[in-house]
Amino acid sequence: MNKRSRRFLNGLRHWVVMIFTTFFVLFPFYWMVMTSLKPREELMASPPKWIPSYLDFNNYKLVWEQMPLLRYLGNSLFVSLMTTIVCLVLATFCGYSISRFVMRKTQKFTSVMMIISQLIPGTLPFISFYFIMYNAHLTNTYQGLIIAYSVWAIPFCTLMMKSYFSQSVPMALEESATLDGCSKFGIFFKIALPISVPGLVATAIFAFIQGWNEFMWASVMLSNNDMKPASVGIYDFIGQYGANSNVSLSMTAAVMITLPAIIFFAFLQKYLISGLSAGAVKG
Amino acid sequence: MKHSKKIMSAVLAALMLSTFAACGSSDKPATDNSGAAGGDTGDLSGKTITFTMQKYGSDASAQEKVLKEMTEAFKEETGITVNYSIIDWGQALTKLTLACTGGEAPDVADIFFTPSMVKIGNGQYGPADITDIYEELGGDDAYFEAVIDEVKIDGKVYGIPWRMDTRAMVYNKAHFEEAGITEVPTTYDELIEAAKKLTKTDDSGNITRSGVVLPVGQARFDQGWFNLLAGHGTSVMNEDYTEFTFGGQEGIDTIQFMLDLINEYKVCTPNVIDPSFDAGTEYQAEKASIVLGQNADFMTAVQSNAPQLEEVTGSAVMPNLTGEGVSSVAYTAPISIMNSTKERAAAEEWLKYFCSAEGQIKFCSAVNLINARKEVMEDEFYSSDWMKAFPEQANRAIYGDPAIPTWSQIDAFPNGPLNTMLTNIVGGADIKTEVDNCLKQCQEIYDKNEVDLG
Amino acid sequence: MGFKKFIDKYTPVIMLLPALIGVLIVQIYPSLDSIRLSFTDKSLLSPTTSYVGFANYITALKDPQTWQTILNTLIFAILSLALGAVFAMLVANELNKKFRGRTFFRAMFLAPWVTPPLVTSAIWQLLLSETFSPFNGLFMKLGWIDKPINFLGNTEPILGFLSLPLISIIIINVWSIFPFLMVMFLAGMQTIPEDMIEAATVDGANAVQRFFKIKLPCLMPVIETSILLEGIWQFNNFNISYLVTKGGPLNSTMVMAVDVYTEAFINFNYGSGATVSVLMMLILLFPAVVYLRKQLRQTDNI
């Protein structure tokens, strides 16, 4: 086939994929927003209307009054941020160690432990872990959440940083520094770390998202509603038997919880991808 | 240069640690300080206790407001501070179980699955024996019969029944008028007749408006089924909770009745099996005229989701075979003092205050809940047009949850034996086989537990 | 100088110790405890616990429902992964090109990944509800169907082992996880040298050939890592199945993680919950060993 038609088909394929994906990704969000703005009389129509006759913003006022949204979002932000910091520090040190001294027994053992920890389904160790936390007086505290989230994110982040160091930080640089008498810590801080900022950013974003989305542990650990993160916030609108009895309010809450996250990550995506392509990806 | 990076990371670490410490101290709930002086008896002022409740009512702020008022008034009266938390239902069961196995537990708690929790707590944790307080508050005579069994285990009382959830029939008065129905059905036959007149279908014969719907939500049939068992004169277990009786002739008739509504009389949509089908929302969408079992809080949902129906929504006592006697079930949940409490005396004061008639009237009227205390139900709040059917129904109800520790497993949703049986049957399986199968499984679970008791 | 040399010698160990200790305490130890529990009959409702050897395993493996659950879990994981990976690859390939609005699309497609699971399940339950689904409304208007489809409640088996609810939750899962894969693939594609592709185009290769002969092989390491990890995570996935359908109707969407939860938290039976956990770990050992060998072997090459 000639160049023209090939280009046309490529362009066509491009836009078909874009449009389909856009619809697939965005339609649920559209529905979420639209349900939150639907006037009450049209709410229970079946089959439902795709476009409401007018927009009713009343729900937003109601939810704002009923749910301490800023508090929840603030908690989410705080917990995720701290999780990211703790996880990043620990995972970077560990990842570096494994990538540089890979032949040694300790490093091999650690790698194996990191993988094995991924195999574990979260639900059962939950109880054992809860009592560890409880006995350490860490239930119902921010620290408890942060420690749990950080450690859960560590295996994946370690592996990411390890592959990053292996791929993108050349040994040659480090070897010459060793010859100059630099200590191992020194090499790490002076040479490896500065170059690895993209990888750090990408790993940080992953850790952040992990902390942001987690809800089960937070829900069980916290009895104090002041500390609730936003991911649990929507439980406020789900009733006794799990029924979603107040659809419009819960959709409104959903919008208010999800929108900030989407906007925030929209800004970060550039760093995520550039960080990943610099080498954390290959495994 | 070498050192600056080290210093930076040290500073970072120090910052983190200090933030942790700061967070820790500022956000720890006030539960740790047991307050100032106060001897063993007498003066309790200055003490602090924790109180947890699940979320009730569709409006989150109503419960928050009334609790605030009550705890403030209580503090003025007694000097005891009550730190309350409202727990959402998402992980309520997990939290409660953990509390009863030695995890974090409040001093006073709103609990459920009482027999299970008592067993799990094994005397060390979980709900404490408060038979004396129960007697103080009026004992057996003060509460509706249907709910007493839930809190009495081996003759001891482990919680004060407060909220009651009894299910009455909800109907759309406008639809009734339109169909020319002047009297609310009181027997099942009358119900079927009325439903036939109310049902609307489209050209292909699909039901567009059900005359009556089973109170199903998320494809969960058990609760509607319990109502109908009661109306047919039987129940899941016998009086002593030693045998399963739902397999008898009346039980089979009940199941047949449910199926007939869908398949034979065609007055109920077959969509009930969809996990997102909800009888309440179906009614609010005006795709159902009668809901065969709703709780008193339903009106709040109607007011928020479908305000145009508020005027025409009515409640009535559930019909049964004869028009008289038991026609529904009632569930309760007690307020208990936890064994792990360190402020037993203060906790008892709060319990008595909260569960007193005045306390209960104040609370339950704020969140539209029916109460287990007879005196409370005689309050004028419950004589409104919408509410009045419920106290009447309460007198004509039996227990909804048998008071056995394995009940949560037997009635587990969606995959416990009872719910599986019902889903299979509604989906078309043979009644007799399913019922027999289910009886066997229930018996197994029940026996296993009995054996463990040793 | 003795101290400094000492530190320097043990630096590698010092560096990995905090992470290792964290993982050992928080994840490894509770899992070992779970393994131990699986050999007991521990139930919250019973004051005494005793070791029962392999009894739990025998009961579990004899129960046909267990096998059905294992099958469901495998189908769920494999299909989610396959569909997700193919879809993510397609999208990543397009997003790799320069075009107007690329940043916007890239940002937007991330949205499902950062949506809290509770929100995801709430929206999709609404979207797939028989009564309130816009799709049903649309299809009926177009005349494609004459009665609404019961996406989440139809219990008829499809092709013998699938069912509409299972397919539905797989689709929801794909919606939720494809951004992660897309990002990984996209990042990988950015490391493919431009001149290689240009050379191929000059040589007359069309888009399809370029993709399969050049891009794909270059991406293999990325693909392997992402898919292996993601596969393990999806096998352990609890959220979607639990939140959207709770494992119903009739166990058609029951996956092993939900089974563990049910056993432990509803039936209060920790012993059998632990058993299912261990079975999950055993099944996952296969891909895990593959991944480990790749990891340890690959690093030997450096």
Q: Tell whether domain B41-164+332-399 is in CATH 3.40.50.720.
A: no
* Residue of chain B whose alpha carbon sits nearest to that of C126: B276
Q: Are strands B328-337 and B397-399 parallel, antiparallel or unpaired?
A: parallel
The pLDDT tens digits for A112-169 are 888 888 877 777 677 788 888 888 888 888 988 899 899 889 998 998 888 888 777 7
Decide if pLDDT at B170 tops 70: yes
The count of domains in chain C is: 1
pLDDT of residue A243: 53
Q: How many CB atoms lie within 10 A of CB C277?
A: 30
Whether C236 maps to a domain, the answer reads yes
Looking at the structure, do residues A178 and A255 belong to the same domain, yes or no? yes
Please give the backbone phi and psi of residue B334, each rounded to the nearest 5 degrees, phi first: -95, 165
Most A CBs within 10 A among B91, B113, B172, hence the mutation to make, goes to: B91
d(CA B79, CA B195): 57
Identify all chain A residues contacting B306, using CB atoms and an 8 Å cutoff: 40-41, 43-44
Q: Where are the alpha helices (DSSP H) in A38-104?
A: 40-43, 58-66, 69-100
The kind and range of the H/E element at C82 are helix C64-95
What is the extent of the structural domain holding C235? 68-254
Q: Are B80 and B47 in contact (CB under 8 A)?
A: yes
CATH number of the domain at B168-317+406-453, please?
3.40.190.10
Most C CBs within 10 A among A4, A10, A50, A124, hence the mutation to make, goes to: A124
The pLDDT tens digits for C249-263 are 778 888 999 988 888
Subunit contact B304:A249, Cβ cutoff 8 A: yes
Shortest distance between the Cα of A251 and any Cα of chain B, in A, equals 13
Q: What is the mean pLDDT of residues C151-173?
A: 84
Looking at the structure, do residues A66 and A51 belong to the same domain, yes or no? no
Shortest distance between the Cα of C165 and any Cα of chain B, in A, equals 10
Subunit contact B454:C48, Cβ cutoff 8 A: yes
Looking at chain B from residue 68 to 97, which residues have their Cβ under 8 Å from any Cβ of chain A? 85-91, 94-95
Q: Are A86 and B20 in contact (CB under 8 A)?
A: no
Please give the backbone phi and psi of residue C107, each rounded to the nearest 5 degrees, phi first: -65, -45
d(CA B250, CA C202): 82
Cα B440 to Cα B22, B243, B410, B431, C190: the distances in Å are 57, 11, 11, 14, 61
Decide if pLDDT at C269 tops 90: no
Subunit contact B273:C153, Cβ cutoff 8 A: yes
Output A84 or C247, whichever has higher pLDDT. A84
Please give the backbone phi and psi of residue A139, each rounded to the nearest 5 degrees, phi first: -70, 155
Residue B376 in tokens: 């409370």
Sequence-distant (6+) residues with CB within 8 A of B130 are B157, B158, B159, B160, B336, B337, B348, B351
Any B CB within 8 A of A43 CB: yes
Subunit contact A141:B28, Cβ cutoff 8 A: yes
Strands in B230-354 per DSSP E = 288-294, 313-316, 328-337
Sheet (strand B200-201) strand order: B200-201, B207-213, B288-294, B168-172, B313-316
Shortest distance between the Cα of B155 and any Cα of chain C, in A, equals 19
3-state helix, strand, coil in chain A (%, to 5): 80, 0, 20
Shortest distance between the Cα of B270 and any Cα of chain C, in A, equals 11
Any C CB within 8 A of A218 CB: no
3-state helix, strand, coil in chain B (%, to 5): 50, 15, 35
3-state helix, strand, coil in chain C (%, to 5): 75, 0, 25
Output B183 or C2, whichever has higher pLDDT. B183
The pLDDT tens digits for C63-109 are 888 998 999 999 999 999 999 999 998 898 888 887 777 888 888 88
Decide if pLDDT at B26 tops 80: no
pLDDT of residue B403: 85
Any C CB within 8 A of B101 CB: yes
Q: What is the mean pLDDT of residues A228-251?
A: 73
Q: Are B393 and B292 in contact (CB under 8 A)?
A: no
Distance between the two ends of chain C, CA-based, in angstroms?
32
Please give the backbone phi and psi of residue C51, each rounded to the nearest 5 degrees, phi first: -80, 135
Q: Are B413 and B219 in contact (CB under 8 A)?
A: no
pLDDT of residue C101: 78
Looking at the structure, do residues A197 and A129 belong to the same domain, yes or no? yes
Whether C192 maps to a domain, the answer reads yes
Q: What is the mean pLDDT of residues A250-258?
A: 85
Q: What is the mean pLDDT of residues B237-254?
A: 88
Shortest distance between the Cα of C284 and any Cα of chain B, in A, equals 25
Decide if pLDDT at A87 tops 70: yes
The pLDDT tens digits for C205-232 are 777 777 777 778 878 877 887 888 888 8
Whether C191 maps to a domain, the answer reads yes
The answer for C193, left when phi > 0, alpha when psi is -120 to 50, beta otherwise, is: beta
- Across B236-246, b (16+ Cβ under 10 Å) vs e yields bbeeebeebeb
Shortest distance between the Cα of C108 and any Cα of chain A, in A, equals 7
Looking at chain A from residue 123 to 142, which residues have their Cβ under 8 Å from any Cβ of chain B? 127, 130-131, 134, 139-142
Can you give the residue ranges of every domain in chain B? 41-164+332-399, 168-317+406-453
Looking at the structure, do residues A124 and A96 belong to the same domain, yes or no? yes
Any A CB within 8 A of B9 CB: yes
pLDDT of residue A241: 54
Subunit contact A132:C284, Cβ cutoff 8 A: no
Looking at the structure, do residues A190 and A218 belong to the same domain, yes or no? yes
d(CA B288, CA B200): 9
Any C CB within 8 A of B437 CB: no
CATH number, domain with residue A142: 1.10.3720.10
Identify all chain C residues contacting A128, using CB atoms and an 8 Å cutoff: 29-30, 33-34
pLDDT of residue B276: 66
* Residue of chain C whose alpha carbon sits nearest to that of A158: C19
d(CA B169, CA B226): 14
Q: CA quadruple B182, B185, B189, B194: dihedral positive or negative? A: positive
What is the extent of the structural domain holding A7? 3-56
Looking at the structure, do residues A215 and A96 belong to the same domain, yes or no? yes
Identify all chain A residues contacting C238, using CB atoms and an 8 Å cutoff: 121-123, 216
Model confidence band, residue A1 (pLDDT cutoffs 50, 70, 90): low
| B288: three-class secondary structure by DSSP | strand
Q: What percent of chain A has pLDDT above 90?
A: 12
The kind and range of the H/E element at C69 are helix C64-95
What is the residue whose two structure tokens read 């279908």? B201
Cα C237 to Cα A36, C76, C299: the distances in Å are 29, 9, 30
What is the residue whose two structure tokens read 């005027």? B311
pLDDT of residue B275: 66
pLDDT of residue A242: 52
CATH number, domain with residue C77: 1.10.3720.10
Identify all chain B residues contacting C239, using CB atoms and an 8 Å cutoff: none
Output B33 or A273, whichever has higher pLDDT. A273
Model confidence band, residue B451 (pLDDT cutoffs 50, 70, 90): low
pLDDT of residue A46: 67
Looking at the structure, do residues A179 and A42 belong to the same domain, yes or no? no
Give all chains having 3 or more CB-to-CB distances under 8 Å with chain A.
Answer: B, C
Q: What is the mean pLDDT of residues B394-415?
A: 85
Any C CB within 8 A of A235 CB: yes
Most B CBs within 10 A among A78, A184, A195, A223, hence the mutation to make, goes to: A223
Any A CB within 8 A of B67 CB: no
Q: What is the DSSP letter of C114?
A: G
Q: How many CB atoms lie within 10 A of CB A107?
A: 24
Subunit contact A236:B60, Cβ cutoff 8 A: yes
Distance between the two ends of chain B, CA-based, in angstroms?
72
Decide if pLDDT at C35 tops 60: yes
Q: What percent of chain B has pLDDT above 70?
A: 88
Angle, helices C102-109 vs C164-190, to 10°: value is 140
The pLDDT tens digits for B56-85 are 876 667 888 999 999 999 999 888 899 998
Q: What percent of chain A has pLDDT above 70?
A: 92
Question: Which of B108, B158, B39 has its CA nearest to residue B403?
Answer: B158
| B247: three-class secondary structure by DSSP | coil
Subunit contact A235:C118, Cβ cutoff 8 A: yes
Angle, helices A3-37 vs C164-190, to 10°: value is 120
Decide if pLDDT at C18 tops 80: yes
d(CA B441, CA B52): 35
Across the strands, what pairs with B48? Answer: B81
Whether C40 maps to a domain, the answer reads no
Q: What is the DSSP letter of C15?
A: H
d(CA C241, CA C173): 9
The pLDDT tens digits for B295-334 are 888 888 888 778 888 889 999 999 988 888 888 888 888 9
Decide if pLDDT at A180 tops 90: no
Q: Are A51 and A31 in contact (CB under 8 A)?
A: no
Please give the backbone phi and psi of residue C292, each rounded to the nearest 5 degrees, phi first: -60, -45
Q: What is the mean pLDDT of residues B380-393?
A: 87
d(CA C270, CA B215): 33
pLDDT of residue B264: 86
- The mean-pLDDT minimum among B117-121, B429-433, C18-22, C186-190 falls in C186-190
Looking at the structure, do residues A146 and A270 belong to the same domain, yes or no? yes
Distance between the two ends of chain A, CA-based, in angstroms?
39
pLDDT of residue B69: 93
Q: How many CB atoms lie within 10 A of CB A104?
A: 14
Any B CB within 8 A of C128 CB: yes
d(CA B253, CA B435): 12
- The mean-pLDDT minimum among A94-103, B37-46, B98-107, C117-126 falls in B37-46
Any C CB within 8 A of B102 CB: no
Residue of A99, A127, A273 with shortest CB distance to C183: A273
Decide if pLDDT at A222 tops 50: yes
The pLDDT tens digits for B341-352 are 888 989 999 999
Complete DSSP assignment for C139-186: HHHHTS-SS---TTT---EETTTEEHHHHHHHHHHHHHHHHHHHHHHH
pLDDT of residue B28: 39
The count of domains in chain A is: 2
* Residue of chain A whose alpha carbon sits nearest to that of B283: A44
Subunit contact A142:B27, Cβ cutoff 8 A: yes
Output C283 or B451, whichever has higher pLDDT. C283
